[in-house]
Amino acid sequence: MPLKHPEAFKRLGIHPAKGFLLFGPPGTGKTLLAKAVAREAEANFIAAKSSDLLSKWYGESEQQISNLFRRARQVAPSIIFIDEIDSLAPQRGGGVGELAVTERVVNTLLAEMDGLEETGQVIIIGATNRPSLLDPALLRPGRFDELVYVSVPERAGRLHILRIHTAGMPLAANVDLESLAARTEGYTGADLEDLTRRAGLLALRENPSIATVDMSYFEKALAGMHASVTAEVQADYRQIVATMRQEGPGKRKIGFGA
């Protein structure tokens, strides 16, 4: 990470990326990934939702954005994380009535990103479920330089997530997490956490003093659930990835965060 090794970039005469855009279906762990990056980089993590930055009062949204970047500079090295960034910076020119507000907010965000020192000490990470709604200017070099697609976890990832969420649960010997991982195609990390929670609740409802949670509770919980991300949704995101590769500056390289 540039936050930890700025001298390496300086030695090679290049600038680190200023921004990373995480995109993918809801519940796939974009926020957790951003927090993990901050922890690994030993940086201060400053998080904000777009809804917290937007205001109905004239000029207040722009001030909120400026304050966010000012705070990040004061506590650098730091990472600014903006969730649902498509709500904060949608494409300009497509609205009616609120066009001037959108223009001012997007322009302020672009100016703040352009004003970041190229030392890698302040980095911005944005997250969105709908990257196609973002203003294209955000994807130009010097802003969100790196695009990372955070997909639903594959089978091995699902097994790892299930192990994490059941680590504190007294499991019976017949609980087969590998079987559950194989049968939860399209489940996000949030879905798998909910599966574990539901199984535990079913066990408690049946017997408040139960000692272990056996496989039957997971089966019952799974029977009442469905994947958040269908095959059709996954296909839509694959098309988004292909489109962003073709339409970005040059031909954008898309990283994968799952």
Comparing 151 with 251, the larger pLDDT belongs to: 151
Comparing 11 with 39, the larger pLDDT belongs to: 39
Rounded to 5 degrees, φ, ψ at 19 are -145, 150
* Three-class SS state of 81: strand
pLDDT, residue 89, reads 86
Q: How far apart are CA 80 and CA 67, in angstroms?
A: 12
The DSSP symbol for 214 reads -
CATH class of 6-152+232-256: alpha beta
Q: 25: closest CA among 186, 181, 227, 229? A: 229
**pTM summary value:** 0.81
Q: How far apart are CA 9 and CA 24, in angstroms?
A: 29
pLDDT over 80 (residue 83): yes
Over residues 38-77, the pLDDT tens digits come to 898 889 999 988 888 887 788 888 899 999 999 999 999 9
Over residues 116-167, the pLDDT tens digits come to 776 668 899 999 998 888 888 888 878 888 889 999 999 999 999 999 999 9
pLDDT, residue 11, reads 63
Whether 116 and 82 have beta carbons less than 8 Å apart is answered as no
Query: How much is the mean pLDDT over the chain?
Result: 86
Tell me the average pLDDT across 65-94.
Answer: 88
Helix (H) or strand (E) holding 247: helix 231-247
The burial of 1, by beta-carbon neighbours within 10 Å (0-12 exposed, 13-18 middle, 19 or more buried), is given as middle
Return the CATH fold of 155-223: Helicase, Ruva Protein; domain 3 (1.10.8)
Tell me the average pLDDT across 17-38.
Answer: 90
- Least confidently predicted of 40-54, 86-100, 101-115, 222-236: 86-100
Q: ∠ CA 191-186-202 to the nearest 5 degrees?
A: 35
- Residue at token pair 């302020």: 108
Where along the chain do its domains lie? 6-152+232-256, 155-223
